[in-house]
């Protein structure tokens, strides 16, 4: 699979703030999500459903249940 199309956005927010000091975790997340399994990334799901402003900078890619809650909370009723 090709690299995630939203990687640059995460690089400019999530990776530069939340994980700026943790290179090991950054590399693990990039390998697990950005390079191989973007379709399972909670951040990508939020980008697609809520737009860039709908993704908290401290939101981790594995927070899929939390992503669903945010989407439900921010969807029109």
The pLDDT-based confidence of 1 (bands split at 50, 70, 90) is low
Does any domain span residue 2? no
Give this prediction's pTM. Answer: 0.87
pLDDT digits (tens, 9 = 90+) for 6-56: 999 998 888 888 788 899 999 999 999 999 999 999 999 999 999 989 999
Q: Which two tokens stand for residue 30?
A: 């990039």
Helix (H) or strand (E) holding 65: helix 64-74
- The beta strand positions in the chain, using DSSP E, are none
Does any domain span residue 1? no
5-30 as b/e: b if 16+ CB within 10 A: ebbebbeebbbeebbeeeeeebeebb
By residue range, what is the domain housing residue 41?
Answer: 7-74
- Residue 38 has a pLDDT of 92
Domain count, the chain: 1
């Amino acid at each position: 699979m090709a690299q995630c199309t939203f990687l640059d956005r995460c690089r400019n927010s999530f990776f530069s703030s939340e994980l700026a000091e943790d290179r090991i975790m950054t590399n693990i997340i990039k390998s697990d999500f950005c390079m191989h399994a973007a379709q399972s990334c909670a951040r990508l799901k939020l980008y697609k459903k809520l737009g860039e402003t709908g993704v908290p900078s401290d939101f981790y890619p594995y927070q899929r249940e939390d992503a669903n809650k945010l989407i439900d909370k921010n969807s029109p009723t």
